[in-house]
Chains A and B, each alone.
Chain A
Amino acid sequence: MGSLLDDWPSYDPHNFSQLRPADSSAQPSKLTPVTYRPTHNKTLPPPDQVISTEARNILLRHFYQKSEEKFRPKRAASDHLTPEHSCKQPRCDYADGAD
């Protein structure tokens, strides 16, 4: 057991070195931090760091990606060994019409 509890990581050996354990009857810590009320202008991020999600619907994106693949120049012959597979590709005009 001792070996498991040995050698606790230490970032700065001084941290907590002066902290004495409060007895059980001690009052809970009463220190309260100051409340932050920013009045400066840097609460707004740089204009290019206002992030939103891409407007294109996930399904549409899927269709476009597939259609792009379809129009890609055909390369290896191995792609054609399973012709039935390509039949299931959505047609480009169909994808365009979908909303």
Chain B
Amino acid sequence: MSVWNYVVTAHKPTNVTHSCVGNFTSPQELNLVIAKCTRIEIHLLTPHGLQPMLDVPIYGRIATLELFRPHGEPQDFLFIATERYKFCVLQWDAETSELITRAMGDVSDRIGRPTDNGQIGLIDPDCRLIGLHLYDGLFKVIPFDNKGQLKEAFNIRLEELLVLDIKFLYGCLKPTIVVLYQDNKDARHAKTYEIALKDKDFVEGPLSHTNLDNGAGILIPVPMPLGGVIIIGEETIVYCSVTAFKAIPIRPSITRAYGRVDADGSRYLLGDNAGFLHLLVITHERERVTGLKIEHLGETSVASTISYLDNAVVYIGSSYGDSQLIKLNLQPDAKGSYVEVLEKYVNLGPIVDFCVVDLERQGQGQVVTCSGAYKDGSLRIVRNGIGINEQASVELQGIKGLWSLRSSTNDPYDTFLVVSFINETRVLAMNMDDELEESEIEGFCAEAQTLFCQNAIHDQLVQVTANSVRLVSSTTRELLHEWNAPSGYSVNVATANASQVLLATGGGHLVYLEIGNGKLAEVKHVQLDYEISCLDINPSVENPNYSTLAAVGMWTDISVRIFSLPSLELLAKENLGGEIITRSVLLCTFEGVSYLLCTLGDGHLLNFLLNLSTGELSNRKKVSLGTQPIMLRTFSSKDTTHVFAASDRPTVIYSSNKKLLYSNVNLKEVSHMCPFNSAAFPDSLAIAKEGELSIGTIDDIQKLHIRTIPLGEHARRICHQEQSRTFAICSLKNCQTSNEETEMHFVRLLDYQTFEFISTYPLDTYEYGCSIISCSFSDDNNAYYCVGTAYVLPEENEPSKGRILVFVVEDGKLQLIAEKETKGAVYSLNAFNGKLLAAINQKIQLYKWMLREDGSRELQAECGHYGHILAFYVQTRGDFIVVGDLMKSISLLLYKHEEGAIEELARDYNANWMSAVEILDDDVFLGAENNYNLFTVRKNSDAATDEERGRLEVVGEYHLGEFVNRIRHGSLVMRLPDSEAGHIPTVIFGTINGVIGVVASLPHDQYVFLEKLQANLVKVIKGVGGLSHEQWRSFNNEKKTVDARNFLDGDLIESFLDLSRSRMDEIASSMGVPLEELCKKVEELTRLH
């Protein structure tokens, strides 16, 4: 029974909603503070850029974020107000690096209609009061006393009901607000009010301006000495003050954000909804404003907030694309842009849809999201992987190979890094200052490409080039012995270990040498039928210096062969099939199991179980890691062997529970890699990539990695089809013609690896793609993409017409096979009993897939069910259908085969406005609604009365604080069958803020245990700003607020592992559980995401 749920964040919110700059962490330091809905981040401005200091979870959705300087304080305070009417004032304590709460409170009113246009919070520039506009017709004032302490808040009646913006004016004797509002004829005006603190009332202010631009939306108060206010419209910008009025026309655009540049308020940055950045300049002579000027600077992500930082560097916070750090250049670039992007900060929001796919069939899901909006729309492939933290890098073009060498056999650290190029070999070495510098190993041939090199026994080094094998003393670095390739032959590939060398020359000659003290001995030579493409003699764990097996990859017959050493007798041969040659072979052992790994030129990897005594290969498995040839190399991290697969999609191969796992590495393209363990860079890897050699350490923890596929258009629905190895999306593109903005909608087919568009089906004018699935029908084995659409006509409130389109993928093209007109928008499609179940406006409709006489196919209506307002979200399980309605919560329907009818079994009678539903198990359904809550309902099939059976019982309620757009079954991590977490069913959700979260259904005893842990943690981990965890997680909508039940806050529970040892001990003892056991239980949970 999936009633006891655990909610945890796998990817934190990335949608930047607010930002501000000030001296927060010290009077001298300049900070950027940004809000990502439920978190704030504090950054420090440094010569090297933005340095992240702290990520602060807030128990609330942030509505206002402002830095301000109370009288007499040396540094700024942070004011935060949340959407659920709490506020706090935070101060940074530099001594303890803690956030201290200076004030907090509740500013809710018992009666009041929440504002439609969002909450507004503002602080008087002279710090006399805080103003809040939370309810229509009311303006709330929190006054400061003369010591900077806050006093009791009071309301003032605000005549204007539809308020668009409010700001404080600068330089007024009494605190004065300017209000931008819309009247009941939709005209927009601005007026000012002085706040009479003693009378607790407004007095008409000095300015008012009627009949502004119809799109006027933003007020910018101008500091003294100029004073006044700028009003930003869609077609004009006006400046008005008591003495001046100036206006300029602008190219029609919707300004979304502004940032002040100069302290005197003469320049502002404006960002519009197309991502264009403009500079607005107030020209003035002394203190008299003479006009306004606007200049186009360039393009950024669509900004939701703009903060000028320092020295022409600006932070662009975005809700629709990646946030950016940009520099404003004095001269335009080739494209005429003054904007240079310095850094990007990933934002997955808004996640409109996503799918969970297991492309490698490894049991590890990756999530592909439809992220971003407008021009910043993208697909993001989110996957658990391994991170490389770069420590040092140097530009080096054309690297052909990389090896690390120790200066003696017993040296714990590597000294040399041998870098091979097409015509030379260079040696880098660590010097006394722990820096890498160019060095020399005299006995090595520096004028040729190194094919292989290796530390050998007796303090020797071995280098293989096309002409010879050189044995060099690692102490004197002089050449001891050389084996020369027979004349007319050159060495093509070579490998070695501490005492053996195996090489291949043209003509299929395989030569085996053994390394003695100062001597190389040719032991065996055989000629094979074809050329040799790759070799390996990596020794087994038992005898690390000597291998009894050799792996050989062949051209022509595309085979891999196992030979015995030293006799070079063929033990096994495996034909790989296909026409792609083997590029790299590797003998390796993970967790006591021996494998042969073998990679192909097209990015595939094959693995075999290897019998070390017979050389026999078995259990062949093939996975695709990338599209380019893969080079394999072993390395160890934390005493465990891993394999690094260098390619266009570098991967680390490791083993867990005797199963090979593949984890992406967060690097773009790696051509070569070798372990490099030096004193300065312990346990590091040297990596050759894109003209660069870098040294980095590898993460020991797994974390999410995100690959971005920019689309330049907004993807709204996504679906994966395994059979055709494609994805399909419904997307829309905004097209700007000379004076009109139009939308074009598409169904697009994408390659499952490159994510390139391979086929496009344009939808009709006004036709939107609403749903997409991949399915098959009864009596038809083809896999189809079914797309549901709606004709969204400007004059209609709800679409009255739509289509269901059935496509098949043929030769990489979308072929329309059938189409069916519908009487409304097709909000959802599901494969259902070999048929197609569609949600069309208020109706659930089932279609059969019928064969016509001419052999073509068509969709034919079978039965339906009315009774919804708008059936937005539909999930099915067997014959059960769960519907999430626009405003009537969740209902459960049943398809009756015999009668060919759909009937309602039960419904939840609450008026929840749904945003997503998913079926957790036969009886329990999970819903998300538009007040950011999650809830579960249960089918009451055993109830005594019909009335009770017809009611879905609400069994769990929780305030997530996130707007969920989609819930799907799946897991982001490899599920290990013998771990406790492996048996816990999970669903994944995606939200507007870019959160990817997991809901895990726990066994009851585990739930009870963790609930107790959560109760203990709440006492120890305090809410920042004094905000209460219990209140934050309480289910809340317009009608009710009730405590959370049957949901646990996994983010809080897992923060147990971040606590100090003493705090952990404290909790363990109050729980009566040994600390080790408690830690293990919490760690298990972290493996759910």
Contact = CB atoms under 8 A, between A and B. Distances in A.
A52 B109 CA distance: 10
Interface residues of A, number: 53
Interface stretch (B97-105, B673-681, B872-880, B956-964): B97-105
A75 interface: no
Contacts of B330: 2, 5-6
B346 A42 contact: no
A81 interface: no
B310 interface: yes
B1025 interface: yes
B138 A15 contact: no
Contacts of A77: none
B47 A52 contact: no
Contact of A34 (B55, B101, B666, B1063): B55
Interface string A40-69: 111111101111111000100110010000
A51 B1025 contact: no
Given A39-B1020, A45-B103, A16 B281 contact: no
Interface in B124-139: 138
B322 A28 contact: yes
B307 to A, nearest CB: 13
A52 B153 contact: yes
A25 B330 CA distance: 24
Could you tell me the dominant secondary structure of chain B's interface residues? Answer: strand
Interface string A11-28: 111111111011011111
B149 A48 contact: yes
Interface string B661-677: 00000111000000000
Given A8-B261, A10-B310, A65-B199, A29 B295 contact: no
A10 B140 contact: no
B701 interface: no
A35 B57 contact: yes
Contacts of B89: 45, 49
A19 B49 contact: yes
A87 interface: no
B30 interface: yes
A55 to B, nearest CB: 9
B328 interface: yes
A15 B311 contact: yes
B340 A21 contact: yes
Contacts of B103: 45-46, 49-51
Given A9-B310, A16-B45, A16-B309, A21 B342 contact: yes
A75 B343 CA distance: 69
Interface string B249-278: 000000000000111000100000000000
Interface in B69-94: 87-89, 93
Nearest to A55: B152
B57 A58 contact: no
Nearest to B40: A36
Contact of A53 (B154, B387, B1023): B154
A54 B48 contact: no
B385 to A, nearest CB: 12
Nearest to B326: A21
B225 interface: no
A28 B88 CA distance: 32
Contacts of A39: 1020-1022, 1059-1060, 1063
A78 interface: no
A97 interface: no
A88 interface: no
A48 to B, nearest CB: 7
Given A8-B261, A54-B153, A38 B47 contact: no
A45 to B, nearest CB: 5
Name the interface size band of chain B: 35 or more
Contact of B1058 (A24, A37, A43, A49): A37
A76 interface: no
A54 B138 CA distance: 14
Contact of B99 (A13, A16, A31, A36): A36
Contacts of A25: 668, 690
B1024 A43 contact: yes
Given A31-B52, A34-B55, A61-B200, A17 B311 contact: yes
A98 interface: no
Nearest to A28: B344
Given A33-B52, A58-B157, A38 B1021 contact: yes
Contacts of A35: 54-57, 1055, 1058
Contacts of B708: 28
B284 to A, nearest CB: 13
A74 interface: no
A82 interface: no
A31 B138 CA distance: 43
Contacts of B50: 29
Nearest to B141: A53
Contacts of A40: 96, 98, 1022
A44 to B, nearest CB: 5
A32 B11 CA distance: 12
A42 B107 contact: no
A18 B668 contact: no
A65 to B, nearest CB: 7
A58 B56 CA distance: 36
A10 B308 CA distance: 10
Interface string B304-346: 0000111111000000001001011110000000101111111
A12 B45 contact: yes
B42 interface: yes
A36 to B, nearest CB: 5
Q: Closest 6 A-B residue pairs measured CB to CB? A: A51-B105, A33-B52, A49-B103, A8-B312, A43-B1022, A19-B49
30 contacts: A4-B281, A9-B262, A9-B308, A12-B30, A16-B49, A16-B342, A18-B47, A19-B342, A22-B341, A24-B341, A28-B322, A28-B345, A29-B325, A32-B52, A35-B57, A38-B1024, A39-B1021, A39-B1059, A43-B1022, A45-B88, A45-B103, A45-B104, A46-B102, A50-B105, A51-B105, A51-B151, A52-B106, A53-B109, A53-B153, A53-B155
